[in-house]
Every structure is written in C-alpha cells, then in structure tokens.
Amino acid sequence: SAEEVLRLRKEFLSPALFLYYKKPVMFVEGKGQYIFDEKGRRYLDGLGGIVTISVGHCHPHVLEAVNKQNATLQHSTTIYLHPNIAEFGQKLASKMPGDLKVCYFVNSGSEANDLAMLMARAYTGNYDMIALRNSYHGGNASGMAATSHSTWKFNVPHSFGVHHAMAPDPYRGPYGRNDPDAGKKYAADVKNLIDFGTSGQIAGFIAESIQGVGGVIVFPDGYLKHAYEHARAAGGVCIADEVQAGFARTGTHYWGFETQGVIPDIVTMAKGIGNGCPLAAVVTTPQIASVLAKRIHFNTFGGNPVVCAQGKAVMEVIEKENLQANALNMGSYVLAGLERLKEKHNIIGDVRGKGLMLGIELVKDRTTKEPAKSECAQILETCKDLGLLLGKGGLTGNIIRFAPPMCINKGDADFMLEVFDAAFSTL
Ligand code: PMP
C-alpha cells in the first residue's frame, strides 16, 4: 500500500527526497499522457514526470526499440564500438543548426551542464561564468553553482566563479512586456556584470531558453541575441540549457533557443530526450569539442546501447506523430483558455509560456504581485484529487507549471481547463 511504501521511504531513504502532495500519491503504471495509481485511478500527467515524458508513457515504438536492445546487449561502454551511439549521434546532429554536431552523451542534465562548463573553461582558458538569477542547472557541485534559486542551494562551497545576472522576467522585472527594448535592456545587465563583477574575460554564459523551475520565465525577444553578443565580446562561449525547452516542446521550434533566433556554441539536453530514461547530452561545434581531444574524459554509462536505442526511438516518434505541431496547437489552445480563466479568477496574476511549457503565476494582489504560495499548493492538491497532476515553480513556489507529454489531445486540454477552473472556485 502507499502507506507502507511511505513508511519504508521514511526509514530507508534520504530525507532529501521530498513529496509534492500533503496526501502522497503513488503511481504504478503509465500509458500515453495518463498515469495510474495503485488503485487503478487515472490521472492526466500534466507535468510529464517533471517535463520528461515527451512522447507519452510506455510508447509502443520506444518500448519495442528498448526491449529489443535490452534482450540483445544491455551494456558496453564507449571503449568499444556500438552502432546505437553512432546512429543516435548522427540523428541528433541532424537536428542541430550551424556548426553544432559533436555529441557527448551523459546521464543527467546536471552532468551535461557540468561538462558544458568544463568545455567552456577548457576551450577559452577563462574561468568566470555568467548565469541568470532564477535559473536551475542541476544538483551537482557545478550545476548548483550555476543555479540561482535559494531552495536548491546549500550554503557550502561548491564551485566558484559563477556570477548571476538579472533574470529577464517580463512580469516581475523592471522592463515589462510592452517595452520593445526590454530584451536589450535586460541583456545590458550581463555586460555590467562582466565589466564590473568579473575579470572582464569570461569562460561562458549559460542560460535556459525558457526558465523552467524558475517559473516558466519567457525572455523578451532579442534578449539572448544581445546577451550572447556581450558574452562573446568578453571571450566567452554561449551555453543553451535545453533540458526543459528542447525537443519540440515550444511547438514553434525543435530547440528553445531558436525561439530567440540565436545559435549557441554548446547545447545541453536531458529529460525529454530520453522520455524517462537516464539520457543526456552535450552537443557542440567540432572546434570546441576538439579541446577534449587532447585529454581523456570518460563516462561509464553515457551513451550505452539501451539509452541510445530509446533516445533514437523518441526522436522518431516526435517526427512521425508530428508532436511539435501538436505541442503548438494544444499549447495555444490551453494558453487561450488560461487567459479566459485569468479574467475570472483574480488570483491569476499572469499566464505565459510557449507550446506545452506553460506557467500560471498566482498572486494575492495584482498590483503588489505578492506571491500566493499557500494557495498555489492548495490548487495543486485539489487538481491532483480531481485527476490532474501539475507542477510548481518560481522562487517562492507560486507558479503552476503545465508541461504534459506532447501527445495530449483536445479532450485532455479541456479536462485540464475544467479541473483548473473548479480548483480555483474552491479557494
Ligand atoms: N537544467 C534544467 C533546465 C533543469 O530543469 C534540470 C532539472 N530540473 C537540470 C538542468 C538538471 O537535470 P537532472 O535533474 O537530470 O540532473
């Protein structure tokens, strides 16, 4: 029973593990966009395993590929040849713009960002990194250093030399949505930080294309273009963390950075790339990748035959089932519905997002924008009781996140909006 599992977890597992709901829920099965608890009750997985289930739970094409590989050879490492890693690398590279084509496979987003920052430092010979306030880049030492989110930080020394520039947050920041120069103005903070907070020469600039954990912060147009220019002028390379916004989720583009019209020097990816298996990657240019040619850098599980079979199958499903177009259609439909709900419920301060990466910011008062944190937790709990899982984000946990598998249909979108409306009516 869920109670017994909870008891075992409390006794034998790290107290660092946290539960989303006051009344915990246990899931034992998943199919497509739905997930089922131990009593067989169905939920719409509106968070997709924290923005990870891109093509749906237990997709038959993915299962076929991975089961076949599991039955043939489960493990070998990169010290031997295997076709899967080569074919998957080629497929991934085919989706990358510009000179981006050299892949290094690892196991998690944190590892990918750690490696990306190592590459940036090794390639430029500089040390200082610029990241953004509100960011989440991982739970290992360097990922945590790049993260700017007090919830996820430990007050222990981890990795030095990461400086945080202002988050380009059009809802809370000084330059609003109606300011056509907002992107340029926020990016000026990157330049100020480089000029006055570092040695003046940096290793790189790392940013999510849309800040996920930070509360679905969509940057003003032009922000990344200007920020990249400042970073490059100071000798740095530009790292796009596509862990959440990548793999077609924004609907209009395959990569989140494309929505800002930029081409990074290094791209990191995880979560949606593997649809639930530990698969992540760093993709860069041959020139930057060559910095690792002079040394040995090894990863035991990275790019193993099973995860590469899974990753390749996931990309095939995104293409065959037109999930990018579906993310755009369903995302626009839900966003329009959320705009209507905003008219009805004063607690909704802002709705935003691209494709199926949506955020709903709750405030106690629309003028002061005081975060409605406890109300947010209550809404999440009510939605769960009504069969809808959602996420939480933002510096104070007052932003609801909707990032379901990209295969949701109109019925699911209507269900989400109805449940949401009903939950707000209980406040
Ligand atoms: N980058 C981003 C943008 C993320 O959202 C996350 C995870 N929430 C990470 C990196 C770290 O990924 P992982 O948990 O796989 O280490």
Q: How far is the CA of 317 from the centre of ligand 1 (A)?
A: 23
pLDDT band (50, 70, 90) for residue 249: very high
Q: How far is the CA of 225 from the centre of ligand 1 (A)?
A: 23
User: Residue 5 carries which side chain, given as an amino acid letter?
Assistant: V
pLDDT band (50, 70, 90) for residue 295: confident
What is the average pLDDT across 186-207?
Answer: 97
User: Is the CB–ligand 1 distance for residue 213 below 6 Å?
Assistant: yes
The pLDDT score that the predictor gives to residue 377 is 96
Asked casually if ipTM beats, i.e. exceeds, 0.85, the reply is yes
pLDDT band (50, 70, 90) for residue 294: confident
pLDDT band (50, 70, 90) for residue 198: very high
What is the average pLDDT across 227-240?
Answer: 98
User: Is the CB–ligand 1 distance for residue 146 below 6 Å?
Assistant: no
Q: How far is Cα 54 from Cα 405, in angstroms, rounded to an integer?
A: 5
Name the 3-class secondary structure at 300.
coil
The closest of 286, 243, 241 to 267, measured between CA atoms, is 241
Q: Atom 10 (ligand 1): residue with closest C-alpha? A: 137
**Dihedral (CA of 182, 183, 184, 187) sign:** positive
pLDDT tens by residue, 334-390:
999 999 999 999 999 999 999 999 999 999 999 999 999 999 999 999 999 999 999
Q: Which of 134, 244, 250 to mutate to test the pocket of ligand 1 (most atoms within 8 A of CB)?
A: 244
The pLDDT score that the predictor gives to residue 149 is 81
pLDDT tens by residue, 124-162:
999 999 999 999 999 998 999 999 887 877 777 666 799
DSSP string, 189-254: HHHHHHHHHS-S--SEEEEESEETTTT-EEPPTTHHHHHHHHHHHTT-EEEEE-TTTTTTTTSS-S
Q: Which of 144, 210, 243, 279 to mutate to test the pocket of ligand 1 (most atoms within 8 A of CB)?
A: 243
The closest of 103, 60, 36, 97 to 273, measured between CA atoms, is 103
Q: How far is the CA of 286 from the centre of ligand 1 (A)?
A: 25
pLDDT tens by residue, 311-347:
999 999 999 999 999 999 999 999 999 999 999 999 9
Q: How far is Cα 228 from Cα 210, in angstroms, rounded to an integer?
A: 15
User: Is the CB–ligand 1 distance for residue 265 below 6 Å?
Assistant: no
User: Is the CB–ligand 1 distance for residue 350 below 6 Å?
Assistant: no
User: Is the CB–ligand 1 distance for residue 417 below 6 Å?
Assistant: no
The full set of domains in the chain, from first to last, is 2-55+322-425 (3.90.1150.10), 62-320 (3.40.640.10)
The pLDDT score that the predictor gives to residue 154 is 75
- Mean pLDDT in the chain? 96
Q: What token pair was written down for 370?
A: 């005081």
What is the average pLDDT across 35-47?
Answer: 98
What is the average pLDDT across 25-31?
Answer: 97
The pLDDT score that the predictor gives to residue 153 is 76
DSSP 8-state symbol, 150: G
